[in-house]
Amino acid sequence: MKKIAPILICGLLLLPSFAQATATTHIWGPSTDVQAYRVWHITGDMYLPLEGDDNGGRIPTVTNIGLTVGVLPFKKVNAEIGFDHKSGYGYLDRYPVYLNLKVGVPEGAFGEYSPAAAVGVFDVGTKSYDEDTHIGTNYNVAYLKIAKTFNPAGRISLGFFSGNKDLLLDEKGEASESGVLFAYERTMTEISDKLWLCAEYMGSESAYATFNFGGAWKFAENVALLAAYDTYLNSDLKLPDTFTMQVDIDFNCPFRKK
């Protein structure tokens, strides 16, 4: 039986973003970057729909406040854990907490030409999928991603993800839980070391499927502001494009040993 109810939830209530679950990201999906040991990362995100619904009504802005911390004291293997509080999803605001976990190795950890790599999961919600109501927040998106820097051209990332087939659906209510991850990013040193630009793709036919582009400005070593444009790839879902504003702050644990 096709599950149309989850499409309505994804398409009307949750459209601005599932993919920002504060695992260290590019714009939309996870990157291979991992928070350093005992470094805390706070993020505040807004996803602003650029169009109204079919009736001309206003679609809610989604907000996301998240916290992530590095938990491994090693140079060649890093790990981070985190959670998010999301609002603007209508009924699902009753279950606002989403968890994430990532383990990764930095570029060059095992030789000059070795790429960065990461494996993890994000959008692990606290409401299990209910077959009667077709409602849940346990998207449980697992992924594997590698990245390599080609100076001076920039860094390319490529990966694959797969999530909960009961919740990642296309416009017909059929499972579309897997897809490709791709990103190109570059620090624009010709202009300023503080300016970073990125273009990013996330596949499938679900509400996760997007093409995103934007940039960030680093106001300090630990403070950055990101702005981006997000367009949904499955036009049959009738999801309006969104504008992302994101503030990121990193800080060391006050009890960190020198």
Instruction: Taking residues 50-65, report their average pLDDT.
Output: 83
> Domain count of the chain?
1
Residue 47 lies in a domain: yes
Q: With bands split at pLDDT 50, 70 and 90, how would you rate the model's confidence at 27? A: very high
Residue 246 lies in a domain: yes
Q: Confirm if 119 and 105 have CB atoms less than 8 A apart.
A: no
Average pLDDT over the chain, rounded to an integer: 89
Q: Is the dihedral of CA 40, 107, 199, 197 positive or negative?
A: positive
Residue 257 lies in a domain: no
Q: Which domain holds residue 109?
A: 4-252
Q: What per-residue confidence (pLDDT) applies to 23? A: 63
Q: With bands split at pLDDT 50, 70 and 90, how would you rate the model's confidence at 255? A: low
Q: Which residue has the higher pLDDT, 134 or 5?
A: 134
- Residues in a beta bridge with 220: 223
Q: Confirm if 134 and 3 have CB atoms less than 8 A apart.
A: yes
Q: Which residue has the higher pLDDT, 10 or 126?
A: 126
For the record, the structure tokens of 132 come out as: 């009667």
Q: Is the dihedral of CA 163, 167, 168, 169 positive or negative?
A: positive
Q: With bands split at pLDDT 50, 70 and 90, how would you rate the model's confidence at 254? A: low
CATH number, domain of 176, equals: 2.40.160.40
For residue 228, is pLDDT > 90?
Answer: yes
> In one letter, which amino acid is 75?
K
Instruction: Taking residues 31-48, report their average pLDDT.
Output: 94
Closest CA to 107 of 99, 115, 96: 115
Residue 258 lies in a domain: no
CA dihedral 34, 19, 215, 85 (to 10 degrees): -80
Residue 229 lies in a domain: yes
Q: What is the pLDDT of residues 145-199, one digit of tens each?
A: 999 999 999 999 999 999 999 999 999 999 999 999 999 999 999 999 999 999 9
Q: What per-residue confidence (pLDDT) applies to 15? A: 43
